[in-house]
Structure 1
Amino acid sequence: MEKLVATEKAIEVIELLKAKHGNLVFEQSSGCCDGTVPICFTKDGHYISSQLVLLGEIADVPYYIDKHQSEYLKHMQVLVDVMEGQGASFSLESAEGYAFLMKSKIMK
């Protein structure tokens, strides 16, 4: 079982964003507002905090997560999905009418 996976629809949206914006990066911090929301940024010029660790890649896009969340999720699979509608974040997909979300389940 892979640690980090994405739905087909999430990958479609990622590919759309890559075509429009070039290199991308996901960041899932443990901030007060969007602690479980994957936020997609353009990679060029985006600072990756030392408090983040690389969880893996989705469609060749690096996915960083807060160290504390990484520890909490160490026995879980992380699934990135997307839904229609604008999320309350600065993530690139919001302008396209989508919102990424993260789900997790215990790995067997």
Structure 2
Amino acid sequence: MSDKASSRDTTSLGKVSATPEAIRLLDEIIADHGPVLFHQSGGCCDGSSPMCYPRGDFIVGDRDVLLGTIGDTPVYISESQYEAWKHTDLTIDVVAGRGGMFSLDNGREKRFLTRSNVCAVAPDP
């Protein structure tokens, strides 16, 4: 298993941040599991759920895009989803509930949630 960086890492422009609550939950998870990464889900049910995995257990695909990092934790998104959201700043937050089935926030009675903010887009020249 690999947590290799994508060839698209040049897109890591600080497009992702986290609330203090998300950082606290992330710190809890890292204390329990060691280094982790986020991958923004694109599934029909978990579309706003960033999935949190141990770094050694998730293979970052060649077409995944590194959005940025939260502390030392990388945040990836699929290339197709990135194209749809590239003009959006994402904030990882925490809400009550259960995390995704394989995400490390599952079973903690709180889960990560991605909130979005549309960025200003300059017109093409």
Q: TM-score, normalised by structure 2?
A: 0.77
Distance of aligned partners of 1:85 and 1:31 in 2 relative to their CA distance in 1, 3 Å threshold: closer
1:59-89: CA deviations, max 9, x gaps? 2101000111111111111011011221343
RMSD: 1.8
**Equivalent residue, structure 2, for 1:62:** 74
**Structure 2 residue 41 is matched with structure 1 residue 35:** no
Shift of 1:106: 1.3
Residue 29 of structure 1 aligns to which amino acid in structure 2?
Answer: S
Tell me the distance in 1 between the aligned counterparts of 2:114 and 2:98.
Answer: 15
Tell me the distance in 2 between the aligned counterparts of 1:100 and 1:52.
Answer: 20
**Equivalent residue, structure 2, for 1:91:** 103
Tell me the distance in 1 between the aligned counterparts of 2:113 and 2:101.
Answer: 11
**Structure 2 residue 56 is matched with structure 1 residue 44:** yes
**Structure 2 residue 114 is matched with structure 1 residue 102:** yes
Tell me the distance in 2 between the aligned counterparts of 1:82 and 1:50.
Answer: 29
**Structure 2 residue 84 is matched with structure 1 residue 53:** no
Q: Which one has the bigger strand percentage?
A: 1
Tell me the distance in 1 between the aligned counterparts of 2:58 and 2:89.
Answer: 26
Conserved in 2, the CA contact under 8 Å of 1:39 and 1:89? no
Q: Which has the larger Rg?
A: 2
Conserved in 2, the CA contact under 8 Å of 1:10 and 1:100? yes
Shift of 1:29: 3.4
Runs of at least 5 residues in structure 1 that lack an aligned partner in the other structure = none
**Equivalent residue, structure 2, for 1:76:** 88
Sequence identity percentage: 38
Q: Any runs of at least 4 consecutive aligned residues in structure 1 with deviations exceeding 3 A, and if so which?
A: none
SS at match of 1:82: strand
Runs of at least 5 residues in structure 2 that lack an aligned partner in the other structure = 1-13, 121-125
- Report which stretch shifted further, 84-93 or 40-49: 84-93
Shift of 1:48: 1.2
